[in-house]
Structures are given as C-alpha cells and as structure tokens.
Structure 1
Amino acid sequence: MRWADLTGRRVAVWGFGREGRAALNALSRHVPGQAVDLYCAADEADAARDVFPDVNVRDVAPDADALAGYDIVIKSPGISAYKPELLDAQVRGTRFTSGTALWFAGHPMANTIAVTGTKGKSTTSALIAHLARSIGVRTALVGNIGLPLLELDDETADLWVVELSSFQTGEASGVSLGVVTSLYEEHLDWHGSRERYVDDKLKLLASSTKVLVNAMQPALLARAGDHPGLYTFGGAADWHVADGWIRRGVEDVIRADRVSAPGLHNAINACAALAALEIMGLDARAAAPALSSFVPLPHRLQPLGKRDGLDWINDSISTTPLASLAALETVGTARAALIVGGHDRGLDWTPFVEAMRTHAPEAIICQGRNGPRIADALEAAGIGNVYRALDLAAAVGAARDALRGDGVIVLSPGAPSFDQFRDYAERGKRFAELAGFESGTASIQGLGIL
C-alpha cells in the first residue's frame, strides 16, 4: 500500500506512541488535507489534540464496529494483528497497514538490510551500521531500535539498516538482505502461540532477495533452507568464533576480545554484522577493526561501573530465560547476584532451572509478577541461595545483602517490564539509579543517518 492509496479514504491511526506520531506527520506531508481519526489512550488525548489540532482524537480503544467504519487503519506495531476486533474488521473490508509497510512501499529502490531475531537484533543492527560507517558508507540506523522509519521518510542514505520486531517482519517488502540472528520462544501474548511467532518472525525471509541466518540453530536453518539466496554465519566455513578469534573460514581476522560489547554472544553478533557487509559487497575485513570502537547499546549487558565495592551490569532488555543464562555466562567465576523476574507471559523456565543445578550464582533474586513462580521452581529443584523480593528496589537491596560488598550484581530479568515499568528502558534506568548511577548513562548512539 502506498500513500496515494489513502487519498479520499476513511483513514484512522491507531496508537499515539512514537510510531503513531510519525505516521500522522508523514500522512500530513504525503496526503495533505486528508481527514484522519486517531485512537489513543485517555491520558494521551490532550497532548494529541495540542500537537495535531486538525486530527479527530478518540480517547478510547476501537471496537470491531469502529474499525469496520474505516477503509484503512495505520496500526502501531505493539497492537497485535490477531486482536479479535481487528480480525473482525478485516473480514468486513477494513485494510490495516503500518508505518513500516508504507516506508518500504515508498522506497522500493532503497539498499536495505532488515534485521530480526529473538535476541541479538538490536546489537547486530547497530554493529552493521557502525561498521559500514567506519568504511565511509552513509548509513541509516532505524526501526524498532528506537527511530521509526517514517521519521526519516524524506531522507536519503546509501544503506538502510532496519531493525524489525516480530510485530513488523510481515510488513517489510523488497528487502535487499534479511538477517535472522536467532529464534527462541518470545512475545506469545502478541502472536498467540509459539508456532505463529515463528511463522511471523520468518515472514522476513519471503520479502528478502538474500537472507543471512544463524547456522548454529538447526531448526532456523531448516526453515530457511529453501531460500534461493541463503547465506549463513556461525558455521566453520562462515564468519564464526573459534579459539578466541573471529574467523572467516580458516582465516583469523580479529581477536574476539577486541569486540567492545562483552560476551561470546556479542562476538557472534559481530560475525553476523561482518557477514552482512560482505554479502552487500562491502569490505568486511577493512571494517573489522572498528569492532573495538563500537559503543555497546544500553540495557544490553551494559557495564554501569563500580559502586560500594560491587560491579553492576544492566541487562534490562533481557525478556527470556535463555537471555538470563547468557548474561550469567558473561561474568564467569565472579561472585554474582542475578536478579530475574517481571511480567509473566507464561514462558517455560525449566531450561534456566536445569542450568542452575550445575552453575548457580551466589544468589538468585526473584522479583516481580512471576518472581514467585520462578522461585518455586528453583527451590523445588533443590537450588539454594534463592531470594524473593516484591519489586526491583527490594531485589537490589537483597542482592547487596547477599554479596556484602564483593561481586557483581546483574539485572537480567528474563521477563518483560510491564508489571512495574513502562518498558525495559525505564526499568534499566531505575536499576541504574538504585545502584547509585545517573539514569542518563544509557542512550543509544548512532540512530539516524551518519
């Protein structure tokens, strides 16, 4: 769907987050004078009317009848495409689109790398952009990472690196290279089932001329195996990590510990980024030294520093139990207190519990809505040093008490933040404050076009 298709139609924008605001601004540029309704939360209505005085603001959630009254609805990505009222309106003729879909339709000749994955997509996207810029390529870093595509709708770049969530992968089109970093269980509340989540995530394959996937995940590789433009990373013949080196096949290119973002998983993300550049015809080997100057993304295994004899690591973006395990691995043999728990989406914590049988930290603090469920499972497995806390503040206090001024406190919740916070960034900032650091220590560098 293109902007011209909205002319003279009954149009609504659903959602007034950053994506919704970008859609309203782009709509006014591309289809001036077009009437539009906005559906937003009641506490957003006054701000919406101030910023967009010509928009008809409705401070309620639309039901099926309301949605069916429009020809086209531009939906924010956080609104599930499987909501009953949306499906009902679709049957009755309403077409749903998004800022992502409109941008791709309007830029069919753009040189694009679209990156998705359960884990690693943000860091991999930022690494690709950083490395491309290091060799002189004018590169845009946009999408789910924090800058809606439509905010740069009228800009030009030699390369567009677009992070896509599982909510957005089906909205892309004409992608030059689609990258899938990993695939685990995630966002079941939006997609409805693991099978649908996987199917939605892998819609990126169908919209991409070439695809790059993680060879270390056999199930992912099997799903991508029929794609005519398939490339891999992580295998022995690919960009991969072995014996402390990032290698291209048998060639040692750069030591893995030169990657500024800590952990083996980030070295693997670097392999994905280097492979993506190579596939796009860029000099990956020339870009590799810039891995040491990359600024790690906030809330992703972000070392905050030392306070009161303790090291503090902010991994607030962790929303799966496997991510919590990966975070714990990065601290090695150090005395550690791991803070887990948050909004309960019903994910299976069994692999985490089993791993704790053989490699438990000094303390595991279980907090938030699903904290009691995690603690019950750990204790039932005979794992000691399990603490319970009502909220993040209490969890930080328990972690301090457990380590007594010696060790590292890791926030890697393995769960979303919505039980206590607006998003993972707010949770990470609060953790930094509780640790004694400025909340503004965390900001993503490199967004936009450089």
Structure 2
Amino acid sequence: MHWAELDGRRVAVWGFGREGRAALDALARHLPGQPVALYCAAGEAEAATAAYPSISVHGVAPDADTLASYDVVIKSPGISAYKPELMAAAERGTRSTSGTALWFAAHAGARTIAVTGTKGKSTTSALIAHLARSLGVRTALAGNIGLPLLELDGTVADLWVIELSSFQTGEASGVDLGVVTSLYEEHLDWHGSRERYVDDKLKLLSASSKVLVNAMQPALLARAVDHPGLHTFGDIAGWHVAGGWIVRGAQRVIEASRVSAPGLHNAINACAALAALEIMGYDAIAAAPAVATFAPLPHRLQPLGERDGLAWINDSISTTPLASLAALESVGTKRTALIVGGHDRGLDWSPFVDAMRVHAPDAIICQGANGPRIADALENAGIEGVYRAIDMPAAVAAARVALNGNGCVLLSPGAPSFDQFHDYADRGRRFAELAGFEASTASIQGLGVG
C-alpha cells in the first residue's frame, strides 16, 4: 500500500509504541492535514494527546465495529494480524497495513537485505551493516532491531539492512536478498500455531529475489529448496565454521575466535553476514577482518563482569528454550547457575529437559510465570539442582547461594519478559542491578545510516 492510497481515507493507527509514533509522524509528513485516529492503552492516552494534539486519541482497544468504521488501519507489529476483530473488520472492507509495508512500497528501488530468523537475526543484521561499512558502503540498519523504518523515511543509503520479525515478514516486498538465520518454535500466542508461525516467517522467501538460508537446518532448507535464487551458509560449499576457522568453501578466511561476539553461534552468524555481502556483490574476504571490531549487541550473551567471585552474563534476549541451550553451550565447562523462566507462551520445554538429562549446569533456577511448569518438568525427569524462585530478585539470590562464590550466573530465560518487565532490555537491566552492576542503558551500536 502506498501513501497516496491513504489520501482522503478514514485512517486509524493502532498502537502508541515507537512504531506507532513513527507512523503518526510519517502520516503528517506525507499527508499533512489528513485526519487520523489513534487507539492506544489507557495509560498512554494523556501522553499521546499531548504529543499529537491534532489527532483523535482513544485510550481503548478497538473492537470489530470500530475497526470497520475505518478504510485503513496502520497497526503496530505486536498487534496480531489474526486478532478476531481485525479479521472481522477485513471482511467488511477495512484494510490493514503497517509502517514496514508502507516503507517498502515507497522504496521499491532501494537495495535491501532483509534478515529474519528465530535466533540470530539481530546480530546477523548488525554484522552485515558493520561489515558493509568497513568497505565504505553507506549502509542503513533499521527495522525490528530497534529503529522503525519510517524513522528513516527520506534517508538515502546505498544498502539497507532490515531486520524483520515474524510479525513483519509478510509486509516486505521487492527485497533483493532475504536471509533466514534459523527456524524454531516461537511467538505462538501471536501466530496461533507453530505451522502458522513457520509459514509467516518464511513469507520473506516469496518477497525476495534471492534468499540465503541456514543449510544446517534441514527443515528450513527443504522449505527454500525450490526458490530460484537460493543460496546457503553453514555447509562446506559456502561460508561455514570448521576447525576453529570461518571458511569459504575450502579457503580459511579468519579464525572464529576473532569474532568479537562470543560463541559458535555468533561465528555462524558471521558466516551468514559474509555470505550475504558476497551475494550482493561486495568483497566479503576483504570485509572479514572487521568481525573483530564489531560491537556485540547488549542483552545477548553480554558479559557484565565479576562480582563476589561470580561471573555474570546477561542473555535476556533469549525467549525460547533452544536459545537457553545455545547460551549454556557458550559458557563451556564453568560452574554455572542458569536462570530460566518468564511469560508463559506455552512453548514446549521437553527438548530442554532432554538436554539436561545429558548435561545439566550446577543449578537451574526457575522463576517467573512459567517457572513452576519448567521446574516440574525438570524434577519429574530426575534433574538435580533445580531451584524455584518467584521473581528475578529471588532467582539471583538463589544463584548466589547455589554457586557460593565460584562460577558463572547466566540469565538466559527462554521466555518473554512480559510477566514482570516491560521488555527484554528492562529485564536485562534489572538483572545487572541485582548482580551489582549499573543498569546499562547501552543501545545497539550502528542503528541508522553510517
């Protein structure tokens, strides 16, 4: 949908987060004087009215009849496209769009790399941008990573690197290269089922002229195998990790330990980033040394330092059980207390429990809304060292007791934060505070154009 299609129409914006505000600002730029209504949470209505005095602000969620009274609804990504009221309004002629869809429609000529994946999409996106800039390419980094595309509306860049969540992949169009880093179970509450999550995630394939997918995931590769522009990473023919090196085919390029972000999975993310640059026609071999100067993203296996004999690692971004397993792998053989649990989306924790049967850390502290469910599953499987904590402060206290001044405390919850916190960053900052560090307000470096 193009901006011109909104001219003179009855338009509503649903959501007053950063995406919603970006949509309101863009509407004012593209269609000055266009009437618009905003639907937001009751607690946001006063601030919204003060910031946008010329619009009609409603501090309630719209029902189907309300939505049907508009021609177009611009919704924020966190609002499920499968909400019954949205679907009912669509049957009555209301069209839904988003800031992402509007940006792509308005920038059909932009050179774009769009990145999605259950895990690894943020780091891979940031790595691509960092490596491209090391070659002197004017590169924009935006999207789900923390900067709405519409905030860069009108900005010029030679290359756009855009992270897309599963909420946004169906809104992209005309993508030059779509990258899928991984595919696991997530966001079932938004999509309604695992099958729909996978289908929605992989809508990026049909929106892209060329695609780059992780060959180490057979199920993912099988879904992409018929794409005429298919490329892969993680296999011996392309960019992969072998013998402690990042390798292109048979050519050793750079030691994997040079990647500044820790863990094997980040070396694989670097392979994806290098492969993406190469597909887009850039000199990936020349860019490879810049993996050593990449600034790791906060809340993603972020080492906070040592306090009271304990090393503290913040992996608050972890929202799936498989992500917690990857985090555990990254700490190696250190004595470890793992903190898991948070908002319960009904994900299957049995693969995690099975892995704990083979090798469990010294302590697993289960906290938050789904903490009791995780603890029950672990204890029923005969796993030792299971602790129960009602919230994050209790979990950190339990970790201190379990390790007694010797080891590593790893926050990798495997669940969203919404039971106790505003978002994963809020959770990570609180963990840092409880560990004895200043709550970092560090943002992701490299957002915007550079």
- Give the TM-score range, shorter chain: over 0.9
Alignment match, 1:389: 389
Q: TM-score, normalised by structure 1?
A: 0.99
Deviating 4+ runs (over 4 angstroms): none
C-alpha separation in 2, matches of 1:256 and 1:109: 35
| Greater alpha carbon shift after TM alignment, 178-187 vs 440-449 | 440-449
1:441 to partner: Cα distance: 5.3
Match of 1:135 in 2: 135
Letter in 2 for 1:295: A
Aligned to 1:187: 187
Structure 2 counterpart of 1:95: 95
**Paired residue for 1:148?**
148
CA RMSD between the two structures: 0.6
Residue equivalent to 1:275: 275
**Partner-residue secondary structure (3-state), 1:440:** coil
Tell me, in whole angstroms, the C-alpha distance in 2 between the residues paired with 1:418 and 1:348.
18
Kept in 2: contact 1:299–1:442 (CA 8 A)? no
Q: State the partner residue of 1:231.
A: 231
> Which residue of 2 is the match for residue 257 of structure 1?
257
Q: Which amino acid aligns with 1:22?
A: A
2:408 aligns with 408
Aligned to 1:30: 30
Deviation by residue 1:194-221 (Cα, 9 ceiling, x = unmatched): 0000000000000101000000011100
Q: Work out the CA distance in 2 between the residues paired with 1:353 and 1:229.
A: 38
Q: Is it true that 1:84 corresponds to 2:84 in the alignment?
A: yes
The Cα shift of 1:145 comes to 0.3
- The one-letter code sitting in structure 1 at the alignment partner of 2:265 is H
SS in structure 2 at match of 1:439 = coil
In structure 1, what is the equivalent of residue 368 of structure 2? 368
Hey, what does 1:448 align to over in structure 2? 448
Query: Which letter does structure 2 place at the counterpart of 1:56?
Result: S
- The residue identity in structure 2 corresponding to 1:146 is G
Deviations 1:101-121 (A, max 9, x none): 000000000000000000000
Q: Is the 8 A contact 1:429 1:442 kept in 2?
A: no
Could you tell me which residue of structure 2 aligns to residue 426 of structure 1? 426
Deviation at 1:440, TM superposition (A): 2.1
Q: CA deviation at 1:308?
A: 1.0
SS at match of 2:33: coil
* Shift, 1:443, TM fit: 2.0
* Matching residue of 1:49: 49
1:331 maps to 331
Q: Secondary structure at the match of 1:319?
A: coil
Distance across 2 between alignment mates of 1:237 and 1:437: 44
Query: Aligned partners of 1:441, 1:302: CA distance in 2, in Å?
Result: 13
Counterpart CA distance in 1 for 2:158 and 2:283 is 15
Q: Distance in 1 between matches of 2:320 and 2:3?
A: 37
CA contact under 8 A between 1:22 and 1:148: conserved in structure 2? yes
Which letter does structure 1 place at the counterpart of 2:294?
F
Q: Following the alignment from structure 2 to structure 1, what is the Cα–Cα distance between the partners of residues 155 and 358?
A: 52
Please give the alpha-carbon distance, in whole angstroms, between the structure 2 residues aligned to 1:49 and 1:348: 42
Residue aligning to 1:245: 245
**What is the Cα deviation at residue 340 of structure 1?**
0.3
Residue 409 of structure 1 aligns with an amino acid whose one-letter code is V
Query: For 1:158 and 1:329, how far apart are their aligned partners in 2?
Result: 38
TM-superposed deviation, 1:83: 0.3
- 5+ long unaligned stretches in structure 1: none
CA distance in structure 2 between the partners assigned to 1:147 and 1:153 by the alignment? 11
Per the TM alignment, residue 358 of structure 1 is displaced from its structure 2 partner at its CA by 1.5
SS of the residue corresponding to residue 316 of structure 1 reads coil
Letter aligned with residue 187 of structure 2: H
Matches within 5 A, 1:305-316: 305-316=305-316
| 1:218-273 deviation digits (Å, cap 9, x = unpaired) | 11001001111000000011100000000000100000000000000000000000
- Look up the SS of the partner of 1:416 in the other structure: coil
Query: Quick one: distance in 1 between partners of 2:161 and 2:173?
Result: 14
Q: Report the Cα distance in structure 2 between the residues aligned to 1:104 and 1:433, rounded to whole angstroms.
A: 40
Shift in Å, 1:442: 3.2
Q: Amino acid of the residue matched to residue 349 of structure 1?
A: W
1:156-184 Cα shifts (integer Å, max 9, x gaps): 00000000000000000000100000000
Structure 2 residues not aligned, in runs of 5+: none
- Per the alignment, residue 353 of structure 1 pairs with 353
